[in-house]
């Protein structure tokens, strides 16, 4: 564990601190309200009908996108980076995954189902899932166009030709065939499925609750050696 020595802010009386804290609170409240507006705008996005019959491989056998809703009307898919045949387990995706089982105990009761989907074959997924002790549904999209259609996997020829566009064109992928993201789907009463939203890159950051805690900590994210350089898989930290 690394202990940093930040430049210490000035030490103040409780009254001085309170004045500074209240000034910050005004900005925090303004931000809360702006986030509320942003969320309302997000809910206004049009929905796009999904026509392709995607079939995924899960521990209980093949299943469709509709099956993943498990009786709910909304579905969140986390695009977990797991490349077929690679033994690399993405630290950032695992960090997000460490938050999911706690959260879904609740949001699944608010009409939102969850599934993680990766391009790796099911056997490879199951190995990681067991090791990390996650219980959320995690399926393989191996052999389908799903990951490519939702902008999280890139074909080698597209990478080579410089047309592997990620995060709505914000980034051109130069090597990684798989990236991370979150996609949201909705189902109507006729059982038709729609895509409503996808987010990538820093858009996934709010799913990393530990960052929300660090953002309130005196030293913040404290990433002097690079973004998430301190992060490990939860079973790879050295014992105290």
Partner 1 sequence: MTTHTTGTLEEWLAARLELLDAEKELTRRSDELARQRQALPWVRIDKAYRFETDAGGATLADLFQGRSQLLVYHFMFGPDYKVGCATCSSIADGFNGIAVHLENHDVALSVVSRAPLAKLQAFKRRMGWTFPWASSQGGDFNGDFNVSITESQQREGGVEYNYRREPAWQSRDDGGMANSMSGNPVADNAAMAGTDVATYIRERPGMSAFVREDGVIYHTYSTYARGLDSLWGMYPWLDRAPRGRNETGVWWRRHDEYDKA
Phi, psi of 211 (to 5 degrees): -65, -35
Distances (CA, A) of 154 to 48, 72, 177, 205: 22, 30, 5, 22
Minimum CB distance to partner 1 smaller for 3 or for 60: 3
The 10 Å Cβ neighbour count of residue 178 is 22
Residue from 129, 140, 187, 193 binding partner 1 (CB under 8 A):
187
The span from the CA of 88 to the CA of 27, in Å, is 41
Kindly determine how many residues on this chain lie close enough to bind partner 1 according to the rule CB under 8 A: 94
> Going by DSSP bridges, is the β-strand pair 181-187/193-200 parallel, antiparallel, or unpaired?
antiparallel
Minimum CB distance to partner 1 smaller for 49 or for 130: 49
The span from the CA of 166 to the CA of 75, in Å, is 22
Tokens of 84: 């077929």
Note whether 172 binds partner 1 by CB under 8 A. Answer: no
The span from the CA of 148 to the CA of 146, in Å, is 5
Q: Which of residues 199-218 bind partner 1 (CB under 8 A)?
A: 199, 202-203, 205-207, 209-210, 212-218
Minimum CB distance to partner 1 smaller for 59 or for 220: 220
Distances (CA, A) of 134 to 51, 102, 125, 205, 210: 31, 10, 11, 20, 17
Q: Which of residues 31-50 bind partner 1 (CB under 8 A)?
A: 31-32, 34-35, 38-49
Minimum distance of partner 1 from residue 82's CB (angstroms): 20
Q: Which of residues 59-78 bind partner 1 (CB under 8 A)?
A: 73-74, 76
Minimum CB distance to partner 1 smaller for 141 or for 182: 182
Minimum CB distance to partner 1 smaller for 123 or for 239: 239
Minimum distance of partner 1 from residue 128's CB (angstroms): 17
Distances (CA, A) of 24 to 11, 103, 139, 206: 17, 29, 44, 21
Tokens of 49: 């009908």
Q: Which of residues 128-157 bind partner 1 (CB under 8 A)?
A: none
CA dihedral angle for residue 203, residue 103, residue 190, residue 117, rounded to 10 degrees: 60
Q: Which of residues 80-139 bind partner 1 (CB under 8 A)?
A: 95, 98-99, 101-107, 109-112, 114
Minimum CB distance to partner 1 smaller for 86 or for 229: 229
Minimum distance of partner 1 from residue 54's CB (angstroms): 16
Residue from 53, 189, 191, 226 binding partner 1 (CB under 8 A):
189
The span from the CA of 101 to the CA of 94, in Å, is 12
Note whether 51 binds partner 1 by CB under 8 A. Answer: no
Minimum distance of partner 1 from residue 62's CB (angstroms): 26
């Amino acid at each position: 564990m690394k202990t940093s020595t930040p430049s210490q802010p000035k030490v103040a009386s409780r009254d001085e601190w309170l004045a500074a804290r209240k000034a910050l609170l005004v900005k925090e409240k303004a931000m809360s309200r702006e986030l509320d507006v942003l969320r309302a705008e997000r809910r206004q996005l049009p929905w796009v009908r999904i026509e392709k019959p995607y079939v995924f491989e899960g521990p209980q056998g093949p299943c469709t996108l509709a099956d993943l809703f498990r009786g709910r009307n909304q579905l969140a898919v986390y695009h977990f980076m797991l490349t077929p045949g690679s033994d690399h387990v993405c630290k950032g995706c695992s960090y997000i995954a460490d938050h999911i089982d706690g959260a879904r105990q609740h949001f699944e009761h608010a009409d939102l189902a969850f599934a993680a989907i990766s391009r790796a074959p099911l056997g490879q997924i199951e190995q990681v899932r067991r090791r990390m002790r996650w219980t959320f549904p995690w399926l393989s999209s191996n052999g389908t166009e799903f990951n490519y259609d939702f902008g999280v996997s890139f074909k080698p020829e597209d990478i080579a030709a410089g047309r592997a566009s990620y995060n709505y064109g914000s980034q051109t992928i130069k090597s990684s065939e798989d990236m991370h993201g979150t996609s949201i789907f909705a189902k109507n009463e006729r059982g038709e499925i729609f895509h409503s939203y996808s987010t990538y890159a820093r858009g996934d950051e709010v799913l990393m609750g530990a960052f929300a805690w660090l953002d309130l900590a005196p030293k913040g994210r404290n990433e002097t050696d690079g973004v998430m350089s301190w992060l490990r898989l939860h079973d790879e930290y050295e014992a105290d």
